[in-house]
């Protein structure tokens, strides 16, 4: 039973089924199904991750309780298209040059024939289906859809909308940047329609094995939910994100360039317009609604009789700021923007375990391939998580690496976050002592060795933006010292 008063958002990659011999495409051996669930713009505001003390996510929490929760998982890019391209191709943004909301990666000659995660499953006998937002936006173009998945369901979308925007916002009053409630039904929302399609498929006689991808839109803006979800978070009891006055005073000026001119409001505007609390409340409400849809899908999986032979993978493409570091939205290399939920649960996975090793969305591709016995491309840049699924405390030499445009990288290890920007400026945070990243230690003589250790993880391949790159694309000319945001210089040398 799914109750509206409960919420849950999760990143799950589960059901470990590893045959003793490699599976050939025509092998007569049972192979696990895959249920691949994506959540858009979900940060660590999930009960079991502790990102917000009041968030209600019982469905995700229950999944984490019967599996392994990765508490230090991060995206490869804090932007939808770049993150999803990385996960589905198995390559870093610095390898593909896909940093912005465009282009579609197959327009890049080197990526034209790249074998994506769903293609790998199709080529090895899986019936692949998708609905909602798995690739970004309108990608792939309609004429190329059959190349990526066999069967397509409803597209992603917010669904019902008010007659006019509820909040007039700066930065062009973008139609998507809105939040609040208005009279409508849960059944009118895009994520309900997506969940309905998945539930229907799970009730049908699906060809097996299947790879079923389900992408939810919320809590992406506009943060619209029906009143019942807002009632979970009474305004007078709402706890706000922790802030520190002057938090950006010890961050390099270049840190502003990564989110230079965006429709997502700055904290200063949210506070002056008395919209900070309403935005936080709306974000929590939409998380709870999406959790209910995740619950509907997982309940249908259980009823289908496939729960014991299905790998469930639920993930978020990146995080979201709610005032931290004086911004809202993504497009940063700090914890609120990079940290995502990631849980593996199901057959063969230890129950009730937590893993603090740094992991990445990039690891999903090789892990699923290994679980299902499929021959993955040899150049995947992520790592098979199987050792951590067997022992969450196992040795793990890999950091999590996030990049946002060429030259800007965040390196997350178990204790530290190191950031290097394209102009050479740096940040270092000790997350054990400073979980909010309030004190930049980059100039501390006590941390020289720590910085050197993290610098060695900076990507050796760091391509410029791919041809056709648009939207939220930043470039930097080291010779002139000019940073260019979406084709326009941010400043002139010496100014």
Question: Helix, strand, or coil here: 78?
Answer: coil
- DSSP state letter for 268: H
**CA 110 – CA 427 distance, rounded (Å):** 33
**CA 340 – CA 476 distance, rounded (Å):** 28
Token pair of 302 as six digits = 């259980």
Return all residues near 457 (Cβ < 8 A) that are at least 6 apart: 399, 401, 411
User: In 10 A of CB 167, how many CB atoms?
Assistant: 18
Q: Please list the active-site residues.
A: 80, 136
Return all residues near 421 (Cβ < 8 A) that are at least 6 apart: 252, 254, 255, 257, 258, 407, 408
The torsion angles phi and psi of 74, rounded to 5 degrees, stand at -140, 155
Q: Are 433 and 264 in contact (CB under 8 A)?
A: no
Q: Are 317 and 84 in contact (CB under 8 A)?
A: yes
DSSP per-residue codes, 446-483: GGHHHHHHHHTTS-S--PPPPTT-BSS-EEEETTTTEE
Token pair of 298 as six digits = 């997982």
Cross-strand pairs, 312: 35
Side-chain-side CA neighbours of residue 207 (13 Å): 9
- DSSP state letter for 401: E
**CA 269 – CA 273 distance, rounded (Å):** 6
Q: Are 118 and 130 in contact (CB under 8 A)?
A: yes
**CA 469 – CA 99 distance, rounded (Å):** 7
**CA 441 – CA 438 distance, rounded (Å):** 10
**CA 313 – CA 311 distance, rounded (Å):** 6
Q: Are 239 and 317 in contact (CB under 8 A)?
A: no
Helix (H) or strand (E) run with residue 86 in it: helix 80-89
Q: Are 176 and 41 in contact (CB under 8 A)?
A: no
Question: Helix, strand, or coil here: 239?
Answer: coil
Which residue in this structure is represented by tokens 């199901």?
346
Q: Are 179 and 263 in contact (CB under 8 A)?
A: no
């Amino acid at each position: 039973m799914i109750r509206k008063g409960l919420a849950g958002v999760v990143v799950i990659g589960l059901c470990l089924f590893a045959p003793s011999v490699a599976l050939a495409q025509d092998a007569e051996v049972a192979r696990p199904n895959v249920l691949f669930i994506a959540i858009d713009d979900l940060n660590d505001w999930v009960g079991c991750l502790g990102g917000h003390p009041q968030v209600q996510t019982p469905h995700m929490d229950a999944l984490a309780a019967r599996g392994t929760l990765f508490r230090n998982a991060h995206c490869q890019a804090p932007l939808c298209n770049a993150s999803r391209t990385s996960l589905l191709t198995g390559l870093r943004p610095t390898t593909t040059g896909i940093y912005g909301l465009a282009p579609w990666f197959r327009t890049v000659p080197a990526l034209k024939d790249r074998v994506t995660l769903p293609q790998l499953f199709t080529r090895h006998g899986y019936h692949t289906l998708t609905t909602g937002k798995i690739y970004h936006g309108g990608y792939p173009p309609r004429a190329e859809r059959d190349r990526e998945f066999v069967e397509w369901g409803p597209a992603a979308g917010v669904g019902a909308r008010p007659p006019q925007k509820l909040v007039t916002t700066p930065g062009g009053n973008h139609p998507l940047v809105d939040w609040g409630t208005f009279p409508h039904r849960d059944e009118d929302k895009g994520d309900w329609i997506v969940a309905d399609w998945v539930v229907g498929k799970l009730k049908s006689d699906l060809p097996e094995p299947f790879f079923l991808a389900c992408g939810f839109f919320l809590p992406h803006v506009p943060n619209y939910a029906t009143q019942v979800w807002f009632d979970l978070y009474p305004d007078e009891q709402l706890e706000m994100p922790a802030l520190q006055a002057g938090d950006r005073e010890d961050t390099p000026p270049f840190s502003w360039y990564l989110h230079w001119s965006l429709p997502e409001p700055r904290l200063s505007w949210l506070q002056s317009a008395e919209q900070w609390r309403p935005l936080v409340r709306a974000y929590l409400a939409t998380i709870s609604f999406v959790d209910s849809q995740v619950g509907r899908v997982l309940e249908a999986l259980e009823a289908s009789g496939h729960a014991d032979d299905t790998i469930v993978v639920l993930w978020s493409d990146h995080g979201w700021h709610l005032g931290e570091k004086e911004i809202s939205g993504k497009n940063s290399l700090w914890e609120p923007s990079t940290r995502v939920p990631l849980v593996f649960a199901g057959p063969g996975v230890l129950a009730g375990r937590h893993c603090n090793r740094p992991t990445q969305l990039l690891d999903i591709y090789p892990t699923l391939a290994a679980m299902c016995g499929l021959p993955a491309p040899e150049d995947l840049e992520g790592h098979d998580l199987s050792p951590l699924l067997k022992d969450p405390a196992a040795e793990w030499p890999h950091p999590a690496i996030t990049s946002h445009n060429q030259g800007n990288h965040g390196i997350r290890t178990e204790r530290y976050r190191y950031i290097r920007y394209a102009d050479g400026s740096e940040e270092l945070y000790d997350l054990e002592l400073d979980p909010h990243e309030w004190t930049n230690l980059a100039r501390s003589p006590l941390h020289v060795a720590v910085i050197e250790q993290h610098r060695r993880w900076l990507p050796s391949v760091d391509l410029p933006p791919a041809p056709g790159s648009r939207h939220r694309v930043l470039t930097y000319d080291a010779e002139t010292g000019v940073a260019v945001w979406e084709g326009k210089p941010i400043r002139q040398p010496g100014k």
